[in-house]
Amino acid sequence: MVKRVVDRVVFLDLNGCIGTFVPRAKRGDGELYLWWSDSITSLNRLTDACGASIVVTSTLRRGKSLGFIRSLLRRAGLRASVVDVTPNLEGATRGEEIRAWLELHEPVSYVIFDDRADIILPGFVRVGPGGIGEADLEAASAFLRSPPYTAGTASS
C-alpha cells in the first residue's frame, strides 16, 4: 500500500552535504555537529522555492529518534519540514534504503543529496567537498520541478 507523505522530497545525507560531525567515540564527551552555514542557506533556498520536505538518509539517523533529528536540524537553521528517515535495512546500500522508501511513499518528485558516488537512482546529485553549493541547487531544482519518479523507475 502506497502512503504519500509529501509531494516533493529532498533525501539528505548530513555529513558531507550540510556539515560534519565527530562521533562520541572520538570525542569522549558526546557528538559534535559542525554545520556549514552556506550549505544550510542553499538548502533552505531550494526547499523554500520548491516546497520540498526532508527525508534524512544519513547514518546519523541510526539510533536517534525523528524528534531528535528534527530538533538538531532546526537548531542548525534548516527551515524545511523533516518528515521522515529512510529505513535502516541490514546489509543494504543507502540507494537501496532510498528505493525502499520511494516504493512505499511514491512522492511526485525527489532529489538525493549525497557526497558518495554509489547511489544509482534518478534524482541523484553528488555533493562535492564543502557541501551543497550553487551547481547542486541548479541540478536539484530541475529534478524537483520535473519529476523523475514513475512507478518502476525506483525499483529498476
pLDDT values of the chain reduced to their tens digit, one per residue, 156 residues: 567 668 999 999 999 999 998 765 554 556 678 899 999 999 999 999 999 999 999 988 888 899 999 999 999 999 999 999 999 999 999 999 999 999 999 899 999 999 988 888 999 999 999 999 989 999 999 999 876 555 444 444
Beta-bridge mates of residue 111:
10
Cα separations in angstroms, 47 against 10, 41, 44, 109, 136 = 8, 10, 5, 13, 13
Residues 6+ away with beta carbon under 8 Å from 90: none
Place of cell 523554500: 48
Half-sphere exposure of 120 (CA within 13 A, CB side): 3
Task: Give the per-residue pLDDT at 147.
Answer: 62
Task: Give the per-residue pLDDT at 62.
Answer: 87
Beta-bridge mates of residue 53:
9
Please give the CATH number for the structural domain made up of 8-145.
3.40.50.1000
Residues 6+ away with beta carbon under 8 Å from 99: 121, 154, 155
- Cα–Cα distance measured from residue 115 to residue 131, given in angstroms and rounded to the nearest whole number: 8
Task: Give the per-residue pLDDT at 51.
Answer: 93
